[in-house]
């Protein structure tokens, strides 16, 4: 019998910072049971020197084109999809430019600064007939798939009543330059879009069998310092008294047990170095021995989202079912509401 070749995707990477390096390192990993081939076709930086340094530090093949502008990368006919690893405030423009050049797009979280920007990007992708997805990589981890199966199909802890998740990462912002994406409000800095988005995602993964079936009410508070939210707390209240508690802070450190999900018959604790990187979870059912599920894999795990994208594009899909575009818009709207109550405003929003 003839074997079908694996789908192949030729990636153009824009932004030569931290996440682009992690993404490239994972994509070029030699790993077992691959479902797609990922080719790093091009690297685009804001200068040729930055792109060259990135390429030399993370060598990803012999035929990689190295560009000193994003525009050149968008115009490269050998690039199928653009991976956007730039600060939040640039995502809208970077997405629109790539999409208008006819490229598929995988854009880092948070997808844009707000839901209006997300809608604009998604509408343009629809018009151009290209694939687009927010790179919320944690959703694609086998751990999350197994956890959701246990919570929502098998009802391992019965009806879920509450979930709480924390992502806190102490940052000495005073030591960062004002140009840092983690400090500069004009680049979309703040606890919510950078790390609170993971806490929000976990609460939604735990509480919602069907994403967006019910829109929770939000009660939120933020601590604003030097024009950015350095801490965010939001309570999501669903009908029948179910609640989710979302926390994020740039002053404290999350516990390794960063998420707790409570149901009528027991609870689940999720562990890992951060809410973005879960490694295990333990199911505690009343009067039974706890059961621990551990997940080990090579690298960091960015290839799962990349594999999903490759399979979707080879099937001619324009969006993904694990991170649907409607869900990206809804997450951005929930964060809009959290910021409306909490007080975080991005400079570009003050002028509209
Ligand atoms: N999924 C995950 O696990 C993670 C996701 N992220 C997300 O990735 C994105 C980028 O974060 P991260 O890699 O940490 O950021 P970095 O600051 O490390 O890198 C961002 C890159 O964007 C480019 N860039 C373009 N314009 C600017 C500008 N005005 N200021 C700063 N950089 C600029 C730069 O590369 P160049 O100049 O060469 O174009 C820069 O190196 C964010 O959306 C963040 O939320 C971040 C960390 C982990
Ligand atoms: O997505 C992220 O996860 C890890 C954090 O270090 C980073 O700031 C954030 O962008």
- How do the domains of the chain map onto residue ranges? 8-136+303-320, 142-298
- Residue whose CB lies within 8 A of the most ligand 2 atoms, among 15, 18, 19, for a mutation test: 19
User: pLDDT tens digits, the chain, 352 residues: what are they?
Assistant: 567 789 999 999 999 999 999 999 999 999 988 999 999 999 999 999 999 999 999 988 889 999 999 999 999 999 999 999 999 999 999 999 999 999 999 999 999 999 999 999 999 999 999 999 999 999 999 999 999 999 999 999 999 999 999 999 999 999 999 999 999 999 999 999 999 999 999 999 999 999 999 999 999 999 999 999 999 999 999 998 999 999 999 999 999 999 999 999 999 999 999 999 999 999 999 999 999 999 999 999 999 999 999 999 999 999 999 999 999 999 999 999 999 999 999 999 996 5
CB atoms within 10 A of CB 169: 18
Closest ligand 1 atom number to CA of residue 91: 43
User: Which residue pairs from 59-66 have beta carbons closer than 8 angstroms and sit at least 24 positions apart in sequence?
Assistant: 60/24, 60/27, 60/28, 61/28, 64/40, 65/41, 66/42
- Sign, Cα dihedral of 266, 272, 277, 279: negative
- Which CATH architecture group holds 142-298? 2-Layer Sandwich (3.30)
Contact 80 CB / ligand 1 (< 6 Å): no
Contact 309 CB / ligand 1 (< 6 Å): no
Q: Which bound ligand lies closest to the C-alpha atom of 43?
A: 1
Separation of alpha carbons 75 and 79, rounded Å = 8
CB atoms within 10 A of CB 77: 8
> Quick one: CA torsion of 186, 123, 111, 187, rounded to 10 degrees?
-10
Contact 183 CB / ligand 1 (< 6 Å): no
- Residue whose CB lies within 8 A of the most ligand 1 atoms, among 12, 13, 14, 15, for a mutation test: 15
Q: How many CA atoms does the CB half-sphere of 63 hold within 13 Å?
A: 7
C-alpha 180 to ligand 1 mean position (Å): 9
Q: What angle do CA 193, 118, 36 make, to 5 degrees?
A: 85
C-alpha 7 to ligand 2 mean position (Å): 29
Contact 90 CB / ligand 1 (< 6 Å): yes
Class of domain 8-136+303-320: alpha beta
Q: How far is CA 322 from CA 231, 306, 337, in A?
A: 28, 12, 23
| Residue nearest atom 5 of ligand 2, based on CA coordinates | 195
Q: Which bound ligand lies closest to the C-alpha atom of 69?
A: 1
C-alpha 280 to ligand 2 mean position (Å): 19
- Provide the pLDDT for residue 17: 98
């Amino acid at each position: 019998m003839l074997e079908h070749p694996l789908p192949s995707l030729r990636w153009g990477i824009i932004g030569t910072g931290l996440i682009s390096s992690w993404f490239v390192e994972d994509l070029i990993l030699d790993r077992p049971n691959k479902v797609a081939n990922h080719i790093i076709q091009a690297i685009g930086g804001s200068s040729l020197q930055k792109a060259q340094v990135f390429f030399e530090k993370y060598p990803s093949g012999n035929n990689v084109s190295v560009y000193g502008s994003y525009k050149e990368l968008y115009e490269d006919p050998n690039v199928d999809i653009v991976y956007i690893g730039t600060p939040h405030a640039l995502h809208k423009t970077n997405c629109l430019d790539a999409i208008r050049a006819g490229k598929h797009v995988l854009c880092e979280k948070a997808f844009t600064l707000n839901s209006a920007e997300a809608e604009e990007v998604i509408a343009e992708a629809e018009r151009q007939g290209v694939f687009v997805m927010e790179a919320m990589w944690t959703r694609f981890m086998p751990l999350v798939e197994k956890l959701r199966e246990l919570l929502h199909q098998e009802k391992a802890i019965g009806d879920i009543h509450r979930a709480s998740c924390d992502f806190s990462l102490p940052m000495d912002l005073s030591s960062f330059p004002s140009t840092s994406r983690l400090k500069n409000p004009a680049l979309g800095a703040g606890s919510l879009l950078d790390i609170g988005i993971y806490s929000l995602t976990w609460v939604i993964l735990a509480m919602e069998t069907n994403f967006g079936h019910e829109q929770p009410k939000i009660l939120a508070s933020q601590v604003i310092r030097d024009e950015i939210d350095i801490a965010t707390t939001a309570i999501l209240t669903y009908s029948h008294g179910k609640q989710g508690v979302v926390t994020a802070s740039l002053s404290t450190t999350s516990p390794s047990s960063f998420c707790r999900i409570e149901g009528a018959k027991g609870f689940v604790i999720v562990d890992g170095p951060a809410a973005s990187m879960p490694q295990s979870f333990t199911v505690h059912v009343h009067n039974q021995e706890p059961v621990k599920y551990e997940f080990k894999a090579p690298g960091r795990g960015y290839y799962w989202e990349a594999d999903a994208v490759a399979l979707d594009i080879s099937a001619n899909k324009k969006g993904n079912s694990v991170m649907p575009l409607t869900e990206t818009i809804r997450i951005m709207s929930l964060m809009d509401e959290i910021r409306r109550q909490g007080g975080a405003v991005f400079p570009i929003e003050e002028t509209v």
